[in-house]
A and B are shown apart, each in its own frame.
Chain A
Amino acid sequence: MTDDMEGLWSVGTAQYFLTTVLLMVGLYGIVARQHLLRKLMAMNILQVAVIVFFIALSAKSGATVPVVIEDGLEINVASYVNPLPHALMLTAIVVSVSTTGVALALLIRIRRRYGTLSETMLLAKLRE
């Protein structure tokens, strides 16, 4: 590993660690928060964390956005970031907004019937 690779390494791995922290925050929210709407926000955070992870995989030092500008020339692979994870993550974003929409619809029904969205109160009402 060369010297300038060292610098890359530090910025590079720090992002994985921070992504993991983000993932854990989301997971913690789903497990520990009481209000169902907040659980849902935590779920969104979790999904964003996964998206961040994929986008981090697509990065290339010294490369630019994947829109080709040079015309007719030989395209240099090293000068554009990897477009595949971007395409995948667009799909993942769509999935996350769809899931959120369905979940909110369910929450409105739950609230209408049980009058609460707090997990403990809901469990108490279900036990009756």
Chain B
Amino acid sequence: MKLAFGSPALDAASRLMTPFMLMFGAYVVVHGHDSPGGGFQGGVIIAACIILVRLVRGRAGGWMLAPERALAFACAGLGIFIGVGLLGPIFGGNFLDYSALPLLLEAPKARAAGSMAIEIGVAVTVTGVLSLIFDALVEARDDG
């Protein structure tokens, strides 16, 4: 089944909105430290943007995060998280202890940098998985 509610107005609106939504998503990820937001919320917004385009323009929109790539995103995000966590033990701290990272920063700054890295990981995973689930629900074939 094609889930594309194509109409010129919707098309234009979605084209107009997507850049702002993506920017807002990225902003929410990056500014999670000082304002409400964070990796999960930002990832949800980016995924919502992808889903919006998919809803309006269907597969033709070119915005489809191919399922395989979406899955790779999901795994990569979690991989980033674990990788950052494992840097702790490598540099002599505990698991996920960012203050042990050799960043030449004072502890709070180093911790903020580490948190930022994992937030990005979370955002990547969330974007990948939500669009993957949406695609799985849409594309599931209607036979059998």
Contact = CB atoms under 8 A, between A and B. Distances in A.
B34 A108 contact: no
B128 to A, nearest CB: 13
B133 A105 contact: yes
B133 A101 contact: yes
A109 B136 CA distance: 11
B60 interface: no
A90 B44 CA distance: 12
A112 B140 contact: yes
Interface residues of A, number: 13
Contacts of B137: 104-105, 108
A47 to B, nearest CB: 16
Secondary structure dominating the interface of A: helix
Contacts of A97: 130
A109 B126 CA distance: 24
Contacts of A123: none
Interface string A64-94: 0101000000000000000000000010001
5 contacts: A97-B130, A104-B133, A105-B137, A105-B140, A108-B140
Contacts of A109: 140
Contact of B40 (A94, A105, A108): A94
Interface residues of B, number: 15
Contacts of B35: 67
Contacts of B8: none
B143 interface: yes
A67 B34 contact: yes
A113 interface: yes
A112 B34 CA distance: 47
Interface string A86-128: 0000100010011001001100110011000000000000000
Interface string B36-64: 10101000000000000000000000000
Nearest to A112: B144
Given A67-B35, A94-B40, A105 B142 contact: no
Contacts of A108: 137, 140
Interface in B96-113: none
Contacts of B130: 97, 101
